[in-house]
Chains A and B, each alone.
Chain A
């Protein structure tokens, strides 16, 4: 059971470039989330999804887009990379939306130069 898998683990982008962070889970969870963690800070929610075809903004959505075409996959798209998007990104999933823990991927460390 792989859980939540994120790719890539590391990436360096130049300002203005775009990329997609991949996330897939094999636990058949309905809820999926993208967080970012900046140094010395807690995790901030970027986007979330309550099921295939349904996504919504979290606390810090600007500069990002998501899609959820299947239950398993929840990719995060950066269209025009900026230095402020340098961070560690975590994808997570949970079986339901209330009073349950989330399962996290290993994270993607992104640097924008």
Chain B
């Protein structure tokens, strides 16, 4: 049962354009959402997060949107840069005695110069 789904395994975008990465979830108990970025042979690094009480959070070129009614999350990168090429993981958490985090399968973003 995949509670966090990233249906696009890969995405290619021209440098300078917008990258939109999507994520859907099924568990209505998730109350905190995160995006991680992962380069090859490295561990994931935190990118941006959003609480379930918000619908938007912005940090520089990165914006995360949350649509709770649709159980949908998206990450916008504007403008996209070649250094953004990486695998992006969507993650959702609920508190069950600890912060139980469920990860999506990742979307590989390629930004073409």
Using a CB–CB distance below 8 Å, which chain A residues touch chain B? Answer: 4, 31, 40-45, 48, 50, 56, 90, 92, 94, 97-107
Contact = CB atoms under 8 A, between A and B. Distances in A.
Contacts of B100: 45
Q: Give 10 closest A-B pairs by Cβ, nearest first.
A: A104-B43, A42-B103, A101-B46, A43-B103, A99-B32, A42-B105, A97-B99, A104-B44, A97-B98, A106-B43
Contacts of B36: 101, 104
Given A48-B98, A101-B34, A106-B43, 19 more contacts: A31-B99, A40-B105, A41-B105, A42-B89, A42-B104, A42-B106, A56-B98, A90-B44, A98-B32, A98-B95, A98-B99, A99-B49, A100-B99, A102-B101, A103-B46, A104-B43, A105-B43, A106-B41, A107-B41
A106 B100 CA distance: 21
Contacts of A94: 99
A42 B102 contact: yes
B7 interface: no
B74 interface: no
B41 A101 contact: no
B99 A99 contact: yes
The CB with the most chain B CB atoms within 10 A, among A56, A102, A103, A106, is that of: A102
Contacts of A103: 46
Interface string B11-44: 0000000000000000000011010100001111
Contacts of A40: 9, 105
Contacts of A41: 105
Contacts of A97: 95, 98-99
